[in-house]
Amino acid sequence: MSRLESAIDLLAKLVAFDTESSKSNLPLIDFVESYLREQDVAFVRQPNARGDKAALFVTIGPGAPGGVVLSGHTDVVPVQGQAWSADPFVLRRDASRLYGRGAVDMKGFDAACLAMIPEFKSARLARPIHILLSYDEETTCLGPLDVIARLGVDLPRPSAVVVGEPTSMEVADAHKSVATHVTRVRGFEIHSANLHRGVSAVHVACKLVCELDRIGEELRAEGDPSGRFDPPFSTIHVGVIHGGTARNIVAKDCEFLWEFRSLPGVSPNLARDRLENFCDGLRATVFANFPDTGIETTTENQVPGLAPQPGSPAETLALRLAKRNATIAVPYATEAGQFQRAGLSAVVCGPGRIDQAHQPDEYIEIAELAACVEFLRGLALELQAA
């Protein structure tokens, strides 16, 4: 069996595990561990605090610093409500494409890395190749943090990290950060005929959403000095809003969920801070005479951005292996920012197109998997002893 066909076979097995982020990934982890034992390679399981999920850190070659981490996540987005033409957890091969949930985001990369282990083993590696399979990337990007904290402590510290999110095997050295928030408004409930004697949480929430829209327009005007991002500015988006009891009751409660995607160099707290300034004005006026009312914004998660580091070990290596002359920026967030925050050199480079991710009938082109296999083959040659 060729290395590419081995990757396709492993991809079918990985897709068969329903690892939506709300569910455990342990059955998949158990399967991969069995495969690793067959390959006789070292690995460390890193469970989460609850014990219902785990990351795997695999080492091929010497247990020394200076190697390369190939990082992929095992979780996928839900299929509920999507119009799939076949079972999303059964890999379907149709001409040049492989269909299935996670095929491109990002079990294809995971499968390619695992399929290459025999070649990694047969290479005379002077520096190790590590494979990190994490969890919860689709929700928080916190899945690799426990492993990252151990790098250079009781696990070898690498010189470069390649995060295999789909980039069509282009090398991405930059992406935006993401901060997610929930804003809750507590009003003063009363009959709507006496609207002037109450405070409507719904009305106030609408003012706040409009203010976020105004802040978003300011950010659009500020633009993207680098000229690399699409859209070329930091963005604010309100995704969910709900509140109120009935049409003729001044609403007591309302909340909305929103996010801020900021360019590298823009504080992830900028949008929340600007909104908070607006809230201070409302607290001093609208809410002044109403106890037990107010506005509170809670930050649920922050995913750090990836800032360009021209000439970094990860960029130099990935450009050479991918046979590219320049880097790109991507509009989505990844775990690469977590590695960079820990002082590690990281880029994003993986098979497939991001616009196929999260879609019904998600697919990856077989040619993209083949290109990834060649990239990984080149990595083994790169790390061989002289």
Q: What's 112's domain CATH number?
A: 3.40.630.10
Task: Verify that 185 and 257 share a domain, yes or no.
Answer: yes
Task: Verify that 188 and 84 share a domain, yes or no.
Answer: no
Q: Taken in order 213, 215, 216, 217, is the CA torsion positive or negative?
A: positive
The CATH code of the domain that includes 217 is 3.30.70.360
- Confidence band for 345, pLDDT divided at 50, 70 and 90: very high
Task: Verify that 239 and 271 share a domain, yes or no.
Answer: yes
At 32, give phi and psi (nearest 5°). -65, -40
Task: Verify that 129 and 74 share a domain, yes or no.
Answer: yes
pTM of the model: 0.93
Q: Which pLDDT belongs to residue 118?
A: 97
The mean pLDDT value for 4-14 works out to 98
CA atoms within 13 A on the CB side of 199: 23
Query: What's the total number of domains in the chain?
Result: 2
End of a domain among 276, 303, 330? 303
Task: Verify that 144 and 247 share a domain, yes or no.
Answer: no
The runs of H, that is alpha helices, within the chain are 3-15, 26-39, 107-115, 117-122, 145-150, 201-222, 270-284, 313-322, 336-341, 366-382
pLDDT in tens, 214-260: 999 999 999 999 999 999 999 999 999 999 999 999 999 999 999 99
- In this structure, are residues 81 and 50 in contact, taking their beta carbons and an 8 Å threshold? no
pLDDT in tens, 93-127: 999 999 999 999 999 999 999 999 999 999 999 99
Q: Which pLDDT belongs to residue 1?
A: 75
C-alpha dist (Å) from residue 178 to 260, 264, 334: 6, 11, 10
Sheet holding 363-365: strands in order across? 92-94, 97-99, 363-365
Task: Verify that 258 and 295 share a domain, yes or no.
Answer: yes
Task: Verify that 281 and 314 share a domain, yes or no.
Answer: no
End of a domain among 268, 303, 338? 303
Task: Verify that 224 and 78 share a domain, yes or no.
Answer: no
Q: Which pLDDT belongs to residue 378?
A: 97
Provide the greatest CA pair distance for the chain.
84
Q: Which pLDDT belongs to residue 72?
A: 98
Indicate whether 273 pLDDT > 60. yes
Print the domain residue range for 213: 177-303
End of a domain among 275, 303, 331? 303
Task: Verify that 199 and 69 share a domain, yes or no.
Answer: no
The mean predicted confidence, pLDDT, of the chain is: 97
- Confidence band for 364, pLDDT divided at 50, 70 and 90: very high
Indicate whether 386 pLDDT > 90. no
- Confidence band for 42, pLDDT divided at 50, 70 and 90: very high
